[in-house]
Amino acid sequence: MRRVLPPVIVGILALILWELFVTLGRVAPFILPAPSAIGAQIAEQRRNIGEAALASGANALIGLIGGTLVAVLAALAASRFLVLGEVSIPFAAVLNALPIIALAPILNNMFESTSSVPRRLVTGIVVFFPVFLNLLRGLREVDPVHQELMRTYAASGWTFARKVRLPGALPHFFTGLRQASSLAVIAAVVAEYFGGLQDGLGARITSAAAFTAYPRAWAFVAGACLLGLAFYLATLLLERLAMPWKQRLTS
Amino acid sequence: MTAVVVDNVTKVFNRGRSDEVPALTDVNLTVGDGEFVSLIGPSGCGKSTLLRLIADLIEPTSGTVTVAGRPASQARREQEYGIAFQQAGLFEWRTVRRNVELPLELRGVSKAERRAKAEEMLELVGLADFAGHYPGQLSGGMQQRVAIARALAVQPPLLLMDEPFGALDEMTRERLQSELLGICAKTGTSTVFVTHSIAEAVFLSGRVVVMSARPGRITASIEVELPSRDEAGRQAPAYFEKITEVRQALRS
Amino acid sequence: MIAGLAVAALLWEGYKAAGDPEGTVLFGVRVLPRADDLSMPHLWTIGRRLADPEMTGGRPVWLVVLQACLFTLGITAAGFAAGTVIGLVLAAAMQRFRIVERGLLPYVVLSQTVPLVALAPLIAGWGGTLMPPWATVSVIAAYLAFFPVAVGMLRGLQSPSAGGVELMRSYAAGWWRTLVKLRFPAALPYLFPALRLAGAAAVVGAVVGEISTGTRGGIGRLIIEYSREATSDPAKVYTAMLGAALLGLLVAGAVSLLELPLMRHRRHVEVATL
């Protein structure tokens, strides 16, 4: 209770203040609509929000899974062949600082703009970097005591990788995946701002804003937030299942 | 047969480079079967290096190391020894039992046998009730006991220990020392034990090997004969005499 | 680095040479991109396009792209600075008052997991009334930049050991002096990785912000404009992409420069913001 109560109180207070600020201050809806107006729109548009969230969610999920798979394979290769790792880490770190999302219009040209592939591809590329960088760091970091111990057991390279390197890198992998899962949703939603097929949350937000239906646009933003939250919580759950030893620690 | 023979061993790190460090010079050491030998000395005297040479974790620059009548590298591959370090070095993702099972697993021991053996070892170190726990749930002393159980799991004729109790508090340390002696007596294991505590070396060992730094070499070898290895032993005049003797050897 | 670029260039041209110009379609889905000149122009075409004028008789493209970069860089910098200040103040407040941390931190962490950049088209409405249009883009950039700073800085401020805090207490140092003498220096290794994340986030915020607010003159806008011309002038959009990459590098480089004098002889720590 002590952990849950303060954020809940803050949340309710913020909503009340927001409502009062908008209604008493007569703030125009294009500046900031009232939470009650947004709530009403959420209720009214729940079917549309659900459909758009499903489309964006599918894009995010496919991009997340694809990007993660490629990143895992790349990280395994880069940890196996040291030269590859030395070259790829600074390269990936630099690429990660670039606005990758801006690739969307190019991908729309390379594929047809009526397909879902460009959005999923952008999502996959965005997802790749945090997973690759974190997992590779985990794979390269081995406790020196474990290293010596496995040598005293005369363990082969493959046994060492399976029993020490891979499980040891799991926490790093999930750090990357947590970041990636939020980025996936963001990328899948925002990629629609750059054109291409318009059936997800991003397109709904822009079209509602274009029709100056601001409460409706905010309602779709709320849908996007819920989608992001769902992805994040799913990743947390997966992490708990994959690493029972961490969970028992905190309990 | 002797458990360990270190013959005229010299170890130089970074040989031929500007940061060359002579770690050990002309070291000779023999550990008999069932003997408990402690290596003691100031930091930088090469006592851990000597232990790692015996374990074949590093190779000597010159000289030979023989373990159980075989070259050290062969002895390592045949798992002639168990080892424990200052850090327990447990695998946090394995339960206590599966940590102890690991060396058996790597030897291809069957699952049922592995489990029985691990439980026997945990019984020995008094942690049978914690077999299903993860290392993160145990105290430092308990983790160290698991590491010792793991080192003993393959029933090695030789036990190598590098300051295994170094990070523990004095009370836990004394209790584990007594447990270790009991285990060694029961299993007849030969032991090489690195420490920087004079009292620990004297209480545990049949022989204390004193080393000095720059260059690392053996300066004295002191036989220890105590009336008993228990609480009474810790208060015996012979115990304090030996402590004084080791301290003087370290100073000279 | 150079080798990596060379490999990427080879892959690009290699795929162009080997790939199907119409792309590879499997089960009705195009799984490999088109390799024709319209979708994937030759690298040298892009290079030449940079030197050519934007429109007949206009300024060369590289100049237009560079100017757009600088325009967006200004917006990013304003957003980054504002976001950093807000993040630092928030972190200090959360460190000082436990109740603030308990009430706010869940939201700060949560806000990282949800696509708040989706708000961008809505903040566009502020332009022209509350503030000049370019400032709305800065608001979006600041919004994205402040989260990593707040979380990273809070971690850093909380990083000194109990021993260090007690030592300051024994010197009768108050909260402010403890902050300046102990907590802030201890937080630096946490702050800089957070600033790098914030820099990258601010760039994304500025580019996305320009697109959704329709702000003219920046690189984000240029990408959209040029991509509309892709059918007639395919190389043009790539020049804008290069500009966006340059912007990302500029910001990352600037943040690293900030770090250099302060972080010499300091340990580096891993920072994950989630």
Does C8 have pLDDT greater than 80?
no
- pLDDT band at residue A154, thresholds of 50, 70 and 90? confident
Other CB atoms closer than 10 Å to residue C161's CB: what's the count?
9
**Strand B158-162 vs strand B81-84: parallel, antiparallel, or unpaired?**
parallel
Query: pLDDT band for position A118 (50/70/90)?
Result: confident
Give the nearest partner residue to A151 out of B57, B92, B105, using CB atoms: B57
Per-residue confidence (pLDDT) for residue A128, from 0 to 100: 92
pLDDT reported for residue C268: 54
**pLDDT above 50 (res B70):** yes
The confidence score (pLDDT) of residue C30 equals 56
Is the preceding peptide bond at B156 cis, omega within 30 degrees of 0?
no
Average pLDDT over residues B134-156: 88
Q: Would you place residue B170 in the very low, low, confident or very high pLDDT band (cuts 50, 70, 90)?
A: confident
Min Cα distance A170 → chain B (Å) is 10
Of C173 and B234, more confident: B234
Q: Is the pLDDT of residue B193 over 60?
A: yes
**Position A61 confidence tier, pLDDT thresholds 50, 70, 90:** very high
Task: Tell me how far apart the alpha carbons of residues A17 and A15 are, in angstroms, rounded to a whole number.
Answer: 6
Mapping DSSP to helix (H, G, I), strand (E, B) and coil, where does residue B10 land? strand
pLDDT band, very low/low/confident/very high, at C24 (cuts 50, 70, 90): low
**Is the ipTM reported for this complex over the cut 0.90?**
no
Q: Is the pLDDT of residue B248 over 90?
A: yes
Query: CB–CB of C125 and A31 under 8 A?
Result: yes
Say what the pTM is. Answer: 0.80
Q: State pLDDT tens for residues C90-111.
A: 888 888 888 778 878 888 777 7
Per-residue pLDDT, C128 = 66
Neighbours of B80 (CB within 10 A): 20
Is residue C16's pLDDT more than 70? Answer: no
CA nearest to A236, candidates A227, A225, A247: A247
Dump the DSSP string for chain C: -HHHHHHHHHHHHHHHHHS-TT-EEETTEEEE---STTTS--HHHHHHHHHSBSSTTS-BHHHHHHHHHHHHHHHHHHHHHHHHHHHHHHHHHHHH-HHHHHHHHHHHHHHHHS-GGGGHHHHGGGBTTTB-HHHHHHHHHHHHHHHHHHHHHHHHHT-S-HHHHHHHHHTT--HHHHIIIIIHHHHHHHHHHHHHHHHHHHHHHHHHHHHHHT-SSSHHHHHHHHHHTTTT-HHHHHHHHHHHHHHHHHHHHHHHHHHHHHHTT---------
* Residues in Cβ contact with A46 at an 8 Å cutoff, skipping those fewer than 6 apart: none
Pick B252 or A68 by higher pLDDT. A68
Residue B77: enclosing H or E segment and its boundaries?
Answer: helix B72-77
Instruction: Suggest the residue from A225, A226, A231 to mutate for an interface test with chain C (most C CBs closer than 10 A).
Output: A225
Residue to mutate among C204, C232, C238, C251, with most A CBs inside 10 A, is C204
Which of A202, A190, A139, A144 shows the shortest CA–CA distance to A167?
A139
Q: Give CA–CA dist B23/B88, Å, rounded.
A: 25
Chain C residues in contact with A226 (beta carbon < 8 A): 114
* CB contact (8 A) between residue C102 and residue A3: yes
Which band of pLDDT confidence, cut at 50, 70 and 90, is reported for residue C272? very low
Q: DSSP H helical segments within A25-116, as ranges?
A: 35-44, 46-80, 82-96, 104-110
Distance, CA of A25 to chain centre:
36
Per-residue pLDDT tens over the stretch B106-138? 888 899 999 999 998 898 888 899 999 999 889
- What is the per-residue pLDDT across B75-91, written as a single tens digit (0 to 9) for each? 888 888 889 988 888 99
Q: What is the pLDDT of residue C273?
A: 41
Which of the two residues, A141 and C10, has the higher pLDDT score? A141
Please report the pLDDT score of residue C31 as a whole number.
56
The pLDDT, as a whole number, for residue A45 is 82
How close is the nearest chain A Cα to the Cα of C172, in Å?
Answer: 32
Q: How far B90 CA sits from the closest chain A CA (Å)?
A: 8
Chain B, residues 149-168, CB within 8 A of chain A, namely none
Distance from first CA to last CA of chain A, Å, rounded?
Answer: 16
Q: Give dist(CA A94, CA B96) in Å, integer.
A: 42
Range from A143-147, A241-245, C215-219 carrying the lowest mean pLDDT: C215-219
Pick the range with the lowest mean pLDDT from A82-86, A160-164, A240-244. A82-86
The rounded Cα A203 to chain-centroid distance in angstroms is 19
- Integer Cα distance of A63 and A184 in angstroms: 7
Dist CA C165 CA C174 (whole Å): 11
Distance between CA atoms of residues C263 and C261, nearest Å: 6
**What percentage of residues in chain A have a pLDDT greater than 90?**
14
Positive or negative, the CA dihedral B113, B115, B119, B122 is positive
Q: Which residues of B touch A161 (CB under 8 A)?
A: none
Separation in Å, CA of A225 to nearest CA in chain C: 5
Q: Does residue B221 carry a pLDDT above 70? A: yes
| pLDDT exceeds 70 at position A166 | yes
pLDDT for position B242: 93
Can you read off the two tokens belonging to residue A80? Answer: 């196996």
Tell me which of C57 and A105 has the higher pLDDT: A105
Residues of A in contact with B93 (CB under 8 A): 167-168, 170, 243, 245
A86 vs B229, residue with greater confidence: B229
The pLDDT tens digits of the residues spanning A78-115 come to 888 877 777 777 777 777 777 777 777 777 777 766 67
- On average, the pLDDT of chain C sits at 76
Contact (Cβ atoms closer than 8 angstroms) between residue B164 and residue B144? yes
Of residues C47 and A173, more confidence is placed in A173
Flag the least confident range among B76-85, C28-37, C198-207.
Answer: C28-37
- Secondary element (H or E) of residue A183: helix A166-190
| Interface residue of A86, A96, A194 to substitute, partner C, most C CBs within 10 Å | A194
Q: Which of A146, A163, A249 sits opposite B134 (nearest CB)?
A: A249
Closest partner residue to C227 (CB to CB) among A109, A111, A193 is A109
pLDDT of B205 higher than 90: yes
Confidence of residue A12 (pLDDT cuts 50, 70, 90): confident
CA distance B122 to chain A (A): 19
Say whether C120 and A193 touch across the interface (CB within 8 A).
yes
Mean pLDDT, chain A, integer:
83
**Partner residue opposite A149 with nearest CB, options B77, B89, B137:** B89
What is the overall mean pLDDT for chain B?
Answer: 90
Predicted local distance difference test score (pLDDT) of residue C37: 63
Q: Which residues of A touch C73 (CB under 8 A)?
A: none
> Which of B176-185, C6-15, C132-141 is least confident?
C6-15
Identity (one letter) of the amino acid at A51? Answer: E
Residue B222, helix vs strand vs coil: strand
Judged by CB atoms closer than 8 Å, whether chains meet at B93 and A164 is answered as no
Of B141-145, C16-20, C119-123, C258-262, which gets the smallest average pLDDT? C16-20
